[in-house]
């Protein structure tokens, strides 16, 4: 009679890295988590930034750790103590999904088995260190969801050095899509092959992009290795889930925060603030979307067309959007920073008065997202 070993009796420990809002919005992340929980002890984390909003809207913040901002490869490294790790995403196409998985694997270099399940490309692939148990999970996922098992790409990286210039490719781009770096739009794609070039912390060129110089001017120091690059909408599946307040909200401490072209950092910078001042159109749109789930109003300083900004985007209740003349959002933003260092506003209304003082006749309109003017 065969005696079971301790390894046979021990439940499988499964780490899960969820990347991007789309895999959550479509309901696949919830379904896959339930299936995996039936086959082992699951620890799930978010890899990336904008997926936080989707996790909150789906009511999964109690099951998926969204407390830390970590890249997908960092999250994979964090879960190397698991028997296996599952990377879960929803790519635009099968090709871009396979490239994404290969890049994550090459950067993370995990010591445990890593498999990818892509609900957009509808495939499962073994990315690293396959084992009998990880192969069984991969086959089970593919069978349960009707996905195809594909061979992973050879190790692939999207970074290369050209002399003193760092070059990084942006995958899955469609012509006409906006390209953003750390939440700031730098231009519009003119080709499917898009590359961004950086030297000494500054974007010095690009291929396949019609650059937006005003956007480039707004970018502070950029480390292209760790920068968040995005093409198209920050949430392609927006509207599939109803926005909701986060059940993990922290207490308000009466302070305010200023977010200046760092929208990807909104959760970390402002999760315990009473209100937030945002500078720039893209920053206000992205940060506002995140902070609406935390119930934190924003005072946004923008210089674009504000028509429908409160209806077309999810903005926190009681927010105020101040539109200034074109090219003046940064100027007004700097003035506000200078004033706030001497006079700390205690409320959003007091901050609005400071903006009026700093902007003067540069103000074009003031829109309150609760309908008041």
Residues 143, 263: one domain? no
**The pLDDT value given to residue 3:** 44
Query: Could you tell me if 284 and 321 are in contact, meaning their C-beta atoms sit under 8 angstroms apart?
Result: yes
Residues 267, 353: one domain? yes
**The pLDDT value given to residue 306:** 40
Could you report the per-residue pLDDT of 58-103, keeping only the tens digit for each? 899 889 999 888 889 999 999 999 999 999 999 988 988 999 999 8
Start-to-end Cα distance in the chain: 81
In-domain check, residue 270: yes
Q: Which of 135, 151, 167 is the last residue of a domain?
A: 151
| Average pLDDT, 10 consecutive residues per value, the chain (373 residues) | 50 94 93 96 87 88 89 93 96 89 92 96 95 96 96 79 92 86 85 92 92 79 84 66 65 75 73 86 83 89 59 75 89 88 88 90 87 42
In-domain check, residue 216: yes
Alpha helices (H) in the chain, listed in sequence order = 6-9, 22-25, 28-37, 51-57, 72-78, 94-108, 132-145, 213-218, 266-270, 281-292, 309-312, 329-342, 348-359
**The pLDDT value given to residue 271:** 74
In-domain check, residue 238: no
In-domain check, residue 222: yes
Tell me how far apart the alpha carbons of residues 265 and 283 are, in angstroms, rounded to a whole number.
10
Residues 33, 127: one domain? yes
User: Domain tally for the chain?
Assistant: 3
Residues 205, 316: one domain? no
Tell me how far apart the alpha carbons of residues 356 and 93 are, in angstroms, rounded to a whole number.
47
**The pLDDT value given to residue 1:** 41
Going by C-alpha positions, the residue among 186, 345, 169 that lies closest to residue 256 is: 345
Tell me how far apart the alpha carbons of residues 120 and 137 are, in angstroms, rounded to a whole number.
19
Residues 119, 37: one domain? yes
Residues 216, 328: one domain? no
Residue the block writes with tokens 């099951």: 63
In-domain check, residue 236: no
In-domain check, residue 250: no
**The pLDDT value given to residue 259:** 86
Residues 147, 163: one domain? no
**The pLDDT value given to residue 303:** 86
Query: Could you tell me if 229 and 170 are in contact, meaning their C-beta atoms sit under 8 angstroms apart?
Result: yes
In-domain check, residue 352: yes
Residues 147, 192: one domain? no
DSSP 227: -
Residues 335, 220: one domain? no
Residues 173, 279: one domain? no
Going by C-alpha positions, the residue among 132, 101, 100, 95 that lies closest to residue 115 is: 101
32, 94, 313 from 25: Cα distances, Å = 13, 19, 17
Instruction: Give the tokens for residue 69.
Output: 């901002």
Tell me how far apart the alpha carbons of residues 180 and 191 are, in angstroms, rounded to a whole number.
15
Query: What is the 3-state composition of the chain as percent helix, strand, coil, each rounded to the nearest 5?
Result: 30, 25, 40
Residues 107, 188: one domain? no
Q: Which of 151, 186, 218 is the last residue of a domain?
A: 151
Angle between helices 348-359 and 329-342 (to 10 degrees): 120
**Rounded CA Rg of the chain:** 22
13, 147, 215 from 128: Cα distances, Å = 17, 19, 38
In-domain check, residue 354: yes
- Look at the alpha carbons of 226, 187, 101, 193 in this order and tell me if their dihedral is positive or negative: negative
Residues 72, 46: one domain? yes
Q: Which of 151, 179, 212 is the last residue of a domain?
A: 151
- Domain encompassing residue 183: 159-231
């Amino acid at each position: 009679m065969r005696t079971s070993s301790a390894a046979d009796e021990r439940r499988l420990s499964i780490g899960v890295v969820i990347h991007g809002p789309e895999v959550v919005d479509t309901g696949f992340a919830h379904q896959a988590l339930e299936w995996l929980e039936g086959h082992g002890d699951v620890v799930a984390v978010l890899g990336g930034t904008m997926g936080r909003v989707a996790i909150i809207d789906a009511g999964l913040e109690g099951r998926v750790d969204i407390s830390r901002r970590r890249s997908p490869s960092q999250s994979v490294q964090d879960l190397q103590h698991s028997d296996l790790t599952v990377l879960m995403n929803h790519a635009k196409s099968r090709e871009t999904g396979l490239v994404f998985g290969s890049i994550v694997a090459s950067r993370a270099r995990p010591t445990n088995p890593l498999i990818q399940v892509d609900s957009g490309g509808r495939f499962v692939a073994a990315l690293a260190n396959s084992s009998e148990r990880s192969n069984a999970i991969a086959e089970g996922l593919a069978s349960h969801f009707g996905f195809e098992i594909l061979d992973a790409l050879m190790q692939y990286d999207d970074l290369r050095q050209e002399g003193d210039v760092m070059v990084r490719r942006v995958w899955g781009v469609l012509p006409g899509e906006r390209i953003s770096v750390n939440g700031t739009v730098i231009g519009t794609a003119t080709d499917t092959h898009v590359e961004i070039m950086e030297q000494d912390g500054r974007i010095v060129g690009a291929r396949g992009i019609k650059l937006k110089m005003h956007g480039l001017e707004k970018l502070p120091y950029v480390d292209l290795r760790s920068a968040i690059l995005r093409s198209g909408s920050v949430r392609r599946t927006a509207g599939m889930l109803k926005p909701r307040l986060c059940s993990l909200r922290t207490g308000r401490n009466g302070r305010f925060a200023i977010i200046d072209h760092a929208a990807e950092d909104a959760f970390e910078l402002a999760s315990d603030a009473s209100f937030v001042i945002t500078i720039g159109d893209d920053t206000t749109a992205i940060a506002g979307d995140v902070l609406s789930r935390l119930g934190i109003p924003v005072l946004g300083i923008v210089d674009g067309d504000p028509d429908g900004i409160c209806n077309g985007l999810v903005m926190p209740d009681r927010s105020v959007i101040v539109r200034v003349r074109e090219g003046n959002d940064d100027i007004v933003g700097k003035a506000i920073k200078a004033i706030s260092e001497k006079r700390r506003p205690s409320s959003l209304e007091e901050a609005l008065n400071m903006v009026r003082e700093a902007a003067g006749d540069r103000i074009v309109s003031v829109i309150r997202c609760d309908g008041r003017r």
